[in-house]
Structure formats: structure tokens, C-alpha cells
Amino acid sequence: AQKITQTQPGMFVQEKEAVTLDCTYDTSDPSYGLFWYKQPSSGEMIFLIYQGSYDQQNATEGRYSLNFQKARKSANLVISASQLGDSAMYFCAMREGMLLGRFYFGSGTKLNVKP
């Protein structure tokens, strides 16, 4: 079974609107971390946001928030007020187990922001 599943290969959003990128994960370990990364066309991988499995509140970082639904094993990324510069590939990732555990990445979602 896939550890991380991103079911949206590509998405479009209108500039200034909010968009949700889906991510589901699979683990039986009670301790894990969830991450989102952005990869623009230039190729670098940029860390966006982190959520720990024991965190009670959803993580937020500026315009990014992580909608963490533990029972459903989902960790969707919400980008508010989309900007043209948000057009990129977005990867969901999970660190399984305690710190220094192995990372698993999803296949990514390509987001296009339309002016």
C-alpha cells in the first residue's frame, strides 16, 4: 500500500481564491510527522508546513494551513488567497515513527494559478 497518496495530479485555481490539495497517508505508527513541500519549475524543494501526529491544532504558516484529520488519515494543504507565484508542484510527505525515521513522499499535485 502507498504510504502517501495524492489523488490530484493537476489542479487549477483562480488568483486570489483558496485551494485545497489533498493528501492521505497510511501508517500504523502512533508517532509520525506530516510535511508539505513546494517545487516550482526552477526545481528546488521548498518546505512549507509541518504537522506532528500529536499536535492538537492544525498547523498554519502564513497563507498555508494544514487540515489535519487524524481519524481519516488525511493532511490536506489549504492555500488561501492564491498568487501566481503559487503555481508549482506540491508534495505531501510523511516521516514515520520517531525522529530520524524514514520519509515517504507522494506523487505530487501540479497547481496552476490563473490570473
| One-letter identity of residue 78 | V
Between 82 and 92, CB nearer to another protein = 92
71 interacts with another protein by CB under 8 A = no
Q: Give the other-Cβ count within 10 Å of 34's Cβ.
A: 25
Q: What angle do CA 19, 64, 11 make, to 5 degrees?
A: 25
SS3 call for 9: coil
Stretch that binds another protein, among 8-16, 22-30, 31-39, 72-80 (CB under 8 A): 31-39
1 interacts with another protein by CB under 8 A = no
Q: Which position among 13, 21, 25, 35 is part of the footprint of another protein (CB under 8 A)?
A: 35
Q: Which position among 20, 78, 101, 110 is part of the footprint of another protein (CB under 8 A)?
A: 101
Q: Which position among 50, 63, 64, 74 is part of the footprint of another protein (CB under 8 A)?
A: 50
Q: How far apart are CA 102 and CA 84, in angstroms?
A: 33
Place of cell 508534495: 91
Between 86 and 108, CB nearer to another protein = 108
Q: How far apart are CA 49 and CA 69, in angstroms?
A: 15
Stretch that binds another protein, among 9-17, 33-41, 70-78, 80-88 (CB under 8 A): 33-41
